[in-house]
Amino acid sequence: MSVLLEKHIVELLQERDEKAISLLYEHYGDTLYGVAKKVVRDEELAQDVLQESFVKIWKKSDSYDATKAKLFTWLFRITRNTAIDKLRSVNTKSDKEIQMDVSDVYNLGVDSIKPEFMDVRENLDKIEDKYQIVLEALFFQGMTQQEASDELGIPLGTIKSRLKIGLRELKKIYGPSMMLALLLNLL
Amino acid sequence: MKEKIKIFLDSDLLEKYLLGTTNQQESLQVERYLAMYPEVRETYNELQDNLEVFAKLHAVKTPEGLKNKIMARIKSENSSRRKFFRYAMAASFAAVMFAGASYFLWNQNQNLQEENVLVNNKIETLKEDMRLELEDVRNQFIVLNNPLTKKYNVKGNKNAKELKAVAYINPVKKLSYINVKKLPHLSKNQSFQMWAEVNGKMINLGIIDESAGQEKLLALPYADNAVSYITIEPKGGNNTPTVENIVAKINY
């Protein structure tokens, strides 16, 4: 997202203009829906999560502080936390079970592979699975590094180093020019 | 210092902060590091970029119609908020009206209380006046009906030949009254005034009101061998009697 557009959206949010939500949905809707889906692993639940997240985004719009986080980081936090809360509320009993359904969580679901994302998927495949698993566990599954270490049976130190390497790999794949291509591809 | 930053970056605080899972104390610590060390800030920005890229890798096309649903929710959220503000406005307006009405009523109550005190005082004064009047009438009755009461016919001297008055004196009850029957006409700036010399002291008994009627009895202070005078004085009365203007003298 261009810095200018991001600024424009933030301004609209602060002016409490509904157009901000429309623009956010157009530019981040798919990504946030993907985040929600990754966490709750259910299409209907993910839709609920996205709705609730946007309502929260709208309600909390005056609490967004650009000096503390980029707009996407803020949107991501709200969506992820809403999704985790949703997951806990629908299935408080088998929290662990949901989190650790590895075959479903850590492989890319067939339904999520769509032609427009193919390039991205290919690129994602360039990151070794062991890094991807750690990244997903931390970013999407609501695990702390300690929890990821326990659940995945990987020592904490390894989790830390895999996270760092994984992120570095990600950066290698997506340099600034690649980022643009990626965004164009996604929007 | 480098060591401190390294330890900080090695901990997962920054990652936790990125995801918004730090507690308040941890957040403050991270924000302090972000403000103080450019390399921490740089790492944080990198993490944010990576998060965005990583999340976008998992983007999934949103289903048709979801956007409309969300926009409708936002709209209803707004209208309920506006509704809330409308209610809040109405409530504040009502509160202001209530306060105003309360003040008005309180004020009115205060005024009524003051008025009540005034009216009560008036009633007291009236009662006292009535009591005095009644006592006066009773005394008149006693004087007039008592066989020991002596009646004196008073006539004016050469200065006021027309003047006629009757005095009633009762030495037993020590009461005396005078009834001025007729007064000669005086010029506009003059009036008749009554006096009594009691035990060598001259007492001003007041101006005789010509319009008061002929049946009005005026009380006189009683003393043995008292003398009353009627004099012509300037309008409004005088402090001491003008001896050359004495028109009648009553000994009793």
What's the number of domains chain A is made of?
2
Q: Is B65 on the interface with A (CB under 8 A)?
A: no
Averaged pLDDT for residues A85-89: 87
For B7-30, the pLDDT digits (tens) are: 888 777 888 898 888 899 999 999
Nearest to A186 by CA among A70, A37, A59, A33: A33
Are A99 and A182 part of one and the same domain? yes
Residue A31's domain spans which residues?
1-92
pLDDT at B164: 82
Q: How many CB pairs under 8 A join A and B?
A: 130
Using CA atoms, how far apart are residues B88 and A78, in angstroms rounded to an integer?
Answer: 29
- Give me the percent of chain B exceeding a pLDDT of 90: 24
Are A5 and A35 part of one and the same domain? yes
- Give me the percent of chain A exceeding a pLDDT of 70: 71
Q: Which residues of A touch B21 (CB under 8 A)?
A: 142, 144
Averaged pLDDT for residues B225-239: 81
* Contact between residue A49 and residue A35 where contact means Cβ atoms under 8 Å apart: no
Q: Which residues of A touch B20 (CB under 8 A)?
A: 77, 80-81
Q: Residue A118's pLDDT band (boundaries 50, 70, 90)?
A: very low
pLDDT at residue A115 greater than cutoff 80: no
More reliable by pLDDT, B37 or B235: B37
Are A70 and A132 part of one and the same domain? no
pLDDT at residue A117 greater than cutoff 50: no
pLDDT at residue A106 greater than cutoff 60: no
The length of chain A, given as a count of residues: 187
Comparing A111-115, A178-182, B214-218, the range with the smallest average pLDDT is: A111-115
pLDDT at A122: 61
pLDDT at A145: 81
pLDDT at residue A96 greater than cutoff 80: no
Q: What is the mean pLDDT of chain A?
A: 77
Q: Which of B22, B53, B69 to mutate to test the interface with A (most CBs of A within 10 A)?
A: B53
**CB–CB contact A183 B73 (8 Å):** no
* Contact between residue B14 and residue B43 where contact means Cβ atoms under 8 Å apart: yes
Q: How large is the ipTM?
A: 0.70
CATH number at residue A5: 1.10.1740.10
For B104-137, the pLDDT digits (tens) are: 999 999 999 999 999 999 999 999 999 998 988 8
Q: Which of A75, A92, A109 is the last residue of a domain?
A: A92
Are A183 and A139 part of one and the same domain? yes
Are A66 and A113 part of one and the same domain? no
pLDDT at A77: 92
**CB–CB contact B71 A21 (8 Å):** yes
Using CA atoms, how far apart are residues A14 and A62, in angstroms rounded to an integer?
Answer: 6
Q: Which of A72, A92, A112 is the last residue of a domain?
A: A92
Q: What are phi and psi of B179, to 5 degrees?
A: -120, 110
- What's the Rg (C-alpha) of chain A? 17
Q: Residue A5's pLDDT band (boundaries 50, 70, 90)?
A: confident
pLDDT at A174: 60
Q: Is B19 on the interface with A (CB under 8 A)?
A: yes
Are A24 and A112 part of one and the same domain? no
- What's the Rg (C-alpha) of chain B? 52
**CB–CB contact B51 A38 (8 Å):** no
Which one of A108-122, A149-163, B194-208 scores highest in mean pLDDT?
A: A149-163
Q: Residue A100's pLDDT band (boundaries 50, 70, 90)?
A: very low
Q: Is B38 on the interface with A (CB under 8 A)?
A: no
For B58-79, the pLDDT digits (tens) are: 888 999 888 998 998 888 887 7
Using CA atoms, how far apart are residues A10 and A62, in angstroms rounded to an integer?
Answer: 9
**CB–CB contact A51 B19 (8 Å):** no
Q: Is B200 on the interface with A (CB under 8 A)?
A: no
* Contact between residue B205 and residue B227 where contact means Cβ atoms under 8 Å apart: no
**CB–CB contact B70 A80 (8 Å):** no
pLDDT at B213: 57
Are A123 and A183 part of one and the same domain? yes
Are A83 and A101 part of one and the same domain? no
Are A139 and A64 part of one and the same domain? no
pLDDT at A135: 83
Using CA atoms, how far apart are residues B217 and A142, in angstroms rounded to an integer?
Answer: 112
Averaged pLDDT for residues A118-136: 72
**CB–CB contact B48 A138 (8 Å):** no
CATH number at residue A150: 1.10.10.10
Q: Which residue of A has its CA nearest to B68?
A: A22
Q: What are phi and psi of B166, to 5 degrees?
A: -120, 130
Are A119 and A62 part of one and the same domain? no
Are A86 and A3 part of one and the same domain? yes
Q: Residue B210's pLDDT band (boundaries 50, 70, 90)?
A: low
* Contact between residue A46 and residue A31 where contact means Cβ atoms under 8 Å apart: no
Nearest to B46 among A33, A59, A171 (CB): A171
- In sequence order, what are the beta bridge partners of B4? none
The structure tokens listed for B191 are 């009036």
Using CA atoms, how far apart are residues B181 and B156, in angstroms rounded to an integer?
Answer: 11
pLDDT at residue A52 greater than cutoff 50: yes
Q: Which of A92, A121, A142 is the last residue of a domain?
A: A92
Q: Is B49 on the interface with A (CB under 8 A)?
A: yes
The structure tokens listed for B2 are 């480098």
Using CA atoms, how far apart are residues B33 and B209, in angstroms rounded to an integer?
Answer: 105
Q: Is B60 on the interface with A (CB under 8 A)?
A: yes
Using CA atoms, how far apart are residues A135 and A139, in angstroms rounded to an integer?
Answer: 6
pLDDT at A1: 57
Averaged pLDDT for residues A53-64: 90
Helices of type H across chain A? 3-14, 19-40, 43-59, 71-90, 95-99, 102-105, 118-125, 129-139, 145-152, 156-173, 176-186
**CB–CB contact A58 B77 (8 Å):** yes
Q: Which residue of A has its CA nearest to B44?
A: A69
Cα A51–A55–A60 angle (5° rounding)? 145
pLDDT at B105: 94
pLDDT at residue A183 greater than cutoff 70: no
Averaged pLDDT for residues A96-119: 43
Model pTM score? 0.54
Q: SS3 sequence, chain B? A: CHHHHHHHHHCCHHHHHHHCCCCHHHHHHHHHHHHHCHHHHHHHHHHHHHHHHHHHHCCCCCCCCHHHHHHHHHHHHHHHHHHHHHHHHHHHHHHHHHHHHHHHHHHHHHHHHHHHHHHHHHHHHHHHHHHHHHHHHHHHHHHHHCCCCEEEEEECCCCCCCCEEEEEEECCCCEEEEEEEECCCCCCCEEEEEEEEECCEEEEEEECCHHHCCCCEEEECCCCCCEEEEEEEECCCCCCCCHHHEEEEEEC
Q: Which of B41, B47, B56 to mutate to test the interface with A (most CBs of A within 10 A)?
A: B56
- Beta-carbon contacts of A22 under 8 Å, excluding residues fewer than 6 positions away, are B67, B71
Q: Residue B177's pLDDT band (boundaries 50, 70, 90)?
A: confident
Q: Which residues of A touch B76 (CB under 8 A)?
A: none
Are A88 and A2 part of one and the same domain? yes
